[in-house]
């Protein structure tokens, strides 16, 4: 499996401690940890933290061919954790990944690499420069699958961005809060999970739509079936990156062409493992994911 992520690579600062992250970057990193060949398309600052970022991305086994250096500071996001382990984010209004650029040579190289998955979100589309680069990549390059992981943050999205992103994708994931926001923005009205998934599939031609429900698991839908996968009960350390890990599990199993239920179950397992450990990209092994007991399911 070969995957290219586009978007923010940043540092989450929690209680004074910095850890590398970014929603799509986390997704790609988890895919790499579980055996995928991974690339990331982003921009970091011409500063010490930018240098450190590139070194760590390489150490994680991710190709840095498309990591640009720009004259804006590398992004640091302040994260606060509430008593339940939930996270709130304070994102700089202008930072390095607002200036992701591309060349014609980049388009040619990306196209030649024949990626199985291209992954992106909405927050990286808040700036004109990065939004233009994303759209140029989607216009000039061929991908076997295009996955939208919505990751709605603050006010960095609107109806036009959502419409464009969905029309470009063939797979999409939302959490339950995002489902409500998207339903309102796109004029679906107040719909349940199943109706939301079916509307998405019909209106945008998606082959896979997922709504995550936190500890209650997830619903996955395709053109032919709809399944609900129970969540796994773990002691939550923090939820930073758990949804991104879920997305990685989803793509890894979708690529393996297993059943929709097995795909969702593996994604729930990986999300639970990450929620039980500190940080967005904690250490774990495949056996840790597979050994979560069914007896621990909700």
Q: Quick one: how far is CA 121 from the chain centroid?
A: 7
**Residue 13's pLDDT is what?**
86
- What pLDDT is attached to residue 153? 84
**CB atoms closer than 10 angstroms to residue 44:** 27
Q: What pLDDT is stored for residue 295 in this prediction?
A: 47
- Please report the pLDDT score of residue 189 as a whole number: 86
- Chain segment 228-244, per-residue pLDDT in tens: 999 998 988 878 889 99
Report residue 210: phi and psi, to 5°: -130, 140
**Domains within the chain, CATH numbers bracketed:** 2-210 (3.40.1190.20)
Q: What is the reported pTM?
A: 0.93
pLDDT of 297: 55
Q: What is the distance between the alpha carbons of residues 36 and 80, in angstroms, rounded to a whole number?
A: 31
Do residues 210 and 196 touch, judged by C-beta distance below 8 A? Answer: no
Q: Helix (H) and strand (E) counts for the chain?
A: 10, 13
- Residue numbers of the chain with a pLDDT score lower than 70: 84-87, 294-298
Tokens 């382990």 belong to: 85
The model's pLDDT over 108-140, given as tens digits with 9 standing for 90+, comes to: 999 999 999 999 999 999 999 999 999 999 999
**What are the C-alpha distances in Å from 117 to residues 97, 143, 259?**
21, 6, 19
First to last CA, the chain: 31
- pLDDT for 44 equals 97
């Amino acid at each position: 499996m070969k995957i290219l992520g586009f978007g923010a690579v940043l540092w989450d600062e929690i209680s004074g401690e910095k850890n590398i992250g970014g929603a799509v970057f986390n997704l790609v990193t988890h895919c790499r940890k579980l055996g995928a060949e991974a690339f990331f398309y982003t921009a970091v600052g011409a500063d010490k933290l930018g240098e450190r970022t590139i070194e760590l991305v390489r150490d994680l086994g991710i190709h840095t061919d498309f990591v640009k250096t720009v004259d804006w500071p590398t992004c640091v996001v302040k994260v606060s954790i509430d008593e339940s382990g939930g996270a709130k984010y304070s994102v700089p209004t202008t930072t390095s990944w607002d200036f992701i650029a591309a060349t014609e040579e980049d388009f040619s190289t990306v196209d030649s690499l024949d990626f199985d998955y291209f992954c992106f979100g909405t927050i990286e589309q808040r700036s004109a420069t990065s939004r233009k680069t994303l759209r140029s990549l989607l216009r000039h390059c061929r991908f076997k699958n295009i996955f939208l992981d919505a990751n709605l943050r603050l006010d960095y999205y609107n109806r036009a961005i959502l419409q464009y992103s969905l029309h470009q994708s063939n797979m999409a994931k939302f959490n339950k809060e995002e489902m409500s926001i998207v339903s309102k923005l796109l004029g679906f009205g107040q719909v349940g999970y199943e109706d939301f998934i079916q509307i998405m599939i019909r209106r945008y031609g998606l082959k896979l739509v997922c709504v995550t429900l936190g500890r209650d698991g997830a619903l996955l839908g395709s053109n032919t079936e709809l399944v609900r996968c129970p969540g796994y009960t773990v002691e939550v350390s923090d939820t930073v990156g758990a949804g991104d890990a879920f997305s990685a599990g989803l793509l890894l199993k979708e690529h393996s062409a297993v059943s929709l239920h097995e795909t969702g179950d593996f994604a729930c397992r990986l999300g639970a493992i990450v929620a039980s450990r500190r940080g967005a990209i904690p250490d774990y092994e495949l056996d840790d994911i597979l050994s979560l007991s069914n007896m621990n399911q909700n």
